[in-house]
Amino acid sequence: MTQEGKLVVITGPSGVGKGTIVKALLSKYSQIFVSISATTRVPRQGEVDKKDYYFLSRDEFEQMINDHQLLEWAEYAGNYYGTPRQPVLEQINQGKIIILEIEVLGARLIKDSFPLATSIFILPPSLDILEQRLRGRATDAEEVIIKRLAKAREELAVSDEFDYQVINDNLESSIELVESIIFPAVS
């Protein structure tokens, strides 16, 4: 009997630690596949096309929208972000666990199109700590940080729409909690 694929959506405000949690899970579990998102934003230092993101022009992204090649997409902080449909469906069909690490609007859309997906919302301990984390990354201009914090307030207001909420106040504990959600103990 073939194992059935599983879709796990991990979301939350920018700077909350989604990527760090997902990287920890990837290093531990070979059966986890992380969907690579597409974006129109400029690559950050060290990011690689087709590994970290599919970096696309606005025209290329809009063509994917028109051709229905995305499971979800949204415009966020002046850039498009989305999940290419085909790679995700292929992995589900192979019985793999697929993690989508995406922004909140996209996660809400995935919940509509994949109601059986497990959705996990990562929260900061506080908005002050989230601001410290965003500033500590030193990757965004001041106006982008201000936009991200305003967006975070809106996103935190809908966290209860998701199956699980995990407050990332201690990274190791947060990783263990997410792990227990993805791999529940069989009794």
- 1 in a structural domain: no
- 81 in a structural domain: yes
Model confidence, pTM: 0.81
Label the pairing between strands 79-84 and 38-39: antiparallel
pLDDT of residue 141: 87
- What six digits make up the tokens of 146? 């201000």
Instruction: Give the single-character DSSP code of 49.
Output: B
Mean pLDDT, rounded, for 63-73: 92
Mean pLDDT, rounded, for 33-46: 92
- 82 in a structural domain: yes
Question: 8-22, 65-79, 163-177: which range is least confident on average?
Answer: 65-79
Q: How many domains, in total, are found in the chain?
A: 1
Among 5, 15, 18, 12, smallest CA distance to 161 is for: 12
Total length of the chain:
187
For the segment 95-145, what is each residue's pLDDT rounded down to a tens digit? Answer: 899 999 988 988 998 887 788 899 999 999 999 999 998 888 878 888 988
- 187 in a structural domain: no
- 156 in a structural domain: yes
- 92 in a structural domain: yes
Spatial distance between the Cα atoms of 121 and 166, rounded to a whole number of angstroms = 6
CB 74 within 8 A of CB 86: no
Percent of the chain past pLDDT 70, that is, above it, reads: 97
CATH of the domain at 173: 3.40.50.300
- 24 in a structural domain: yes
**Does 186 have pLDDT greater than 70?**
no
Domain span including residue 176: 6-182
- 157 in a structural domain: yes
Percent of the chain past pLDDT 90, that is, above it, reads: 56
pLDDT band at 178 (very low <50, low <70, confident <90, very high): very high
Q: Is 186 exposed, middle or buried (0-12, 13-18, 19+ CB in 10 A)?
A: exposed
pLDDT of residue 115: 83
Spatial distance between the Cα atoms of 91 and 8, rounded to a whole number of angstroms = 12
pLDDT of residue 170: 95
